[in-house]
Amino acid sequence: MWTRRGTRHCFWLVLFMCIWVCKDAVPIALDNKKVDPPSEKLDPPESADTGLHYDRYLREVIDFLEKDPHFREKLHNTDMEAIKQGQLAKELDFVSHHVRTKLDELKRQEVNRLRTLIRAKQDMEGGKGLTMDYEALLRQFEHLNHMNPHTFEVEDLDRLIKSATSDLENFDKERHEDFKRHEMRKEHERREHLKTLDEETRKREEEHYEEMRRKHADHPKVNHPGSQDQLKEVWEEADGLDPEDFDPRTFFSLHDTNGDHYFDEQELEALFTKELEKIYDPNQEEDDMIEMEEERLRMREHVMNEVDTNKDRLVSLQEFVAATKKKEFLDTDPWETLEQNQAYTDQEMREFEEHLAREENDLNQKTVDLQKQRQELERQQETLNAQKVELQQAMEHMDQLKQQKTEPEVKGNVAPVSLGEGAMPVLPGDSQSFSPGHQQDSPVQS
């Protein structure tokens, strides 16, 4: 909902989400001698993806709730803490029938989506012989009441707010853990590769590795994120302005790309690009772009901890200007980059390798079990094939016996003889023999 004078009102500030409301914009003082005022934005970009697996559902619910006048007014007059405690969710009972109907439809679509994904995951993991983590599956439904899949109720909005708040607060922590695993896996694979080499080749590999580390660490000074030196460097190189004319309000206006009078996390991270380019080059072997994103996250967290006084994951113009008046703003010490701060401890590395070893053993055991199952199935198949052959032979034998019973019984019997008129038939057991043409004398009648 954009108007020419509209600004974005931050809704559920910890959710990275913003709802657009019509209210008078707070003017930002600009020095026209230093820089032209930024042009008015009529089509600002959408807010960044939260990274949650239910991001689309969250956005659509917010969008439709914002269209209801009553809810919109309550939202505008409710502070963040009250929202997190569920007070805003109770206002759902007063929204229009049209909005409630649409929310019902959105919930049914979300439940169906989750069910489809879970069935697919069950089929995939079941096919691999993996044990299903049903608790993890149930957590996929925590942002809604799946026991009632048909209507969107107060409990659904309350769950959505609390789930998104909790998930987003832990989102950065999970990113750090993912990076730590990435680094440990990379080191583990390097060690395993060295084990496969002869002594001379291994020595060359180790020397090459150390050379890459030195090369990566050899870079210009990295300014402290959020410091005067760092912001002036952006002001000069990115904005093309004289560092001596640095003005915090003008700087804020130039880099508030969506014009909402807040620096969100994406806008803050964009300010560190120049510093990161000093350390990382995608064309250089020694530079890991995954490490670059971790460095960007560390810089953003540092600035948020220093500047975001109300902990809403956004930096307002007032917070930004106040931060430029602190002594930390004049900090000239270089930023300690990742090569000076190892992501994991030796103990964590040992535990990680032990975990990999257990996984490998489990996988090997499953391979052995599957091989045994395959051999048993092959044996059973051979037995079935043999039984099939025997059954086929028995059926063929029975067919032969039936055929023999239906044929004329000639073999082993005397064929009938045609006798002339008055001739006597030869009976079985008759001791006399006859030859053709011989006539037996008639018995003498007494």
Could you read off the pLDDT of 87-145 as tens digits, one per residue? 788 888 888 999 999 999 999 999 998 888 888 877 776 666 666 666 676 778 888 88
The answer to whether residues 302 and 329 touch, using CB atoms and an 8 Å cutoff, is no
Tell me: the pLDDT tens digits for 276-289?
Answer: 999 999 999 999 99
**What whole-number distance in Å separates Cα of residue 364 and Cα of residue 356?**
12
- In the CATH scheme, what is the code of domain 171-344? 1.10.238.10
pLDDT value of residue 100: 92
Mean pLDDT to the nearest integer, 228-232: 96
The answer to whether residues 171 and 126 touch, using CB atoms and an 8 Å cutoff, is no
pLDDT value of residue 126: 65
State yes or no: pLDDT of 416 exceeds 80. no
The answer to whether residues 41 and 3 touch, using CB atoms and an 8 Å cutoff, is no
pLDDT value of residue 402: 85
Q: For the packed helices 69-76 and 55-66, what is the interaxial angle rounded to 10 degrees? A: 100
Mean pLDDT, all residues of the chain: 80
The ranges assigned to domains in the chain are: 49-169, 171-344
**What whole-number distance in Å separates Cα of residue 327 and Cα of residue 377?**
75
Tell me: the pLDDT tens digits for 366-399?
Answer: 999 999 999 999 999 999 999 999 999 999 989 8
The answer to whether residues 80 and 312 touch, using CB atoms and an 8 Å cutoff, is yes
- pTM comes to 0.63
pLDDT value of residue 128: 62
Q: 159: closest CA among 121, 95, 111, 113?
A: 111
pLDDT value of residue 171: 83
- The β-bridge relationship of strands 18-21 and 315-316 is unpaired
With pLDDT > 90 as the criterion, what percentage of the chain qualifies? Answer: 50
**What whole-number distance in Å separates Cα of residue 272 and Cα of residue 230?**
8
Q: How many CB atoms lie within 10 A of CB 209?
A: 13
State yes or no: pLDDT of 421 exceeds 60. no
**What whole-number distance in Å separates Cα of residue 178 and Cα of residue 171?**
11
Q: How many CB atoms lie within 10 A of CB 23?
A: 11
State yes or no: pLDDT of 31 exceeds 50. no
**Report for 76-80, 298-302, 312-316, 434-438: range of highest mean pLDDT:** 298-302
∠436-438-443 over CA atoms, to 5°?
Answer: 140
Q: What separation in angstroms does the CA of 401 have from each of 389, 398, 412, 413?
A: 19, 5, 18, 20
Tell me: the pLDDT tens digits for 36-58?
Answer: 444 433 343 345 566 788 889 99
